[in-house]
Amino acid sequence: MKQLSKFLSAFFLAIALVSVVGCASTSQKEGTGEYIDDSVITTKVKAAIFNEPSLKSAEINVETFKGVVQLSGFVSSQTAASKAVEVARSIKGVTSVKNDMRVK
């Protein structure tokens, strides 16, 4: 019975370690918490761009990875691109903004 108890303890410890390591992030993969945080940041940036009257939000794509926001798509002017970057930077949690937008 004592061996069974030790085996079960070791088994549950192994399961706990695997589940914790499975949620950890790497340089190319986000952990569960980071994914949720990035989803919130993406949503906030999209909403802020949508609420900016000088920007056409349908033309700007927003993606976030570990707090870095990437803006892509087409805008009508360099001023619009700069405004979108400024809006994205103003969102809490954004660590930096990559501007991959093109002027059409």
Q: pLDDT tens digits, the chain, 104 residues: what are they?
A: 666 666 656 555 566 655 555 555 555 555 655 566 899 999 999 999 999 999 988 899 999 999 999 999 999 999 999 999 999 999 999 999 999 999 98
* CATH label of the domain that carries residue 62: 3.30.1340.30
Domain count, the chain: 1
Is residue 85 situated within a structural domain?
yes
Separation between Cα atoms, residue 33 and residue 98, nearest integer Å = 22
CB atoms within 10 A of CB 73: 17
Is residue 94 situated within a structural domain?
yes
Is residue 94 a contact partner of residue 86, using CB atoms and an 8 Å limit?
A: no
Q: What pLDDT does residue 52 have?
A: 94
- Residue 71 corresponds to which tokens in the numbers above? 């803006």
Is residue 95 situated within a structural domain?
yes
CA 89: distance to chain centroid? 14
- pTM here is 0.68
Is residue 19 situated within a structural domain?
no
Q: What pLDDT does residue 88 have?
A: 97
Is residue 15 situated within a structural domain?
no
Place of tokens 């004592």: 2
Q: What pLDDT does residue 56 have?
A: 86
Q: Where are the alpha helices (DSSP H) in the chain?
A: 2-23, 32-50, 78-89
Give residue 56's domain range.
Answer: 27-103
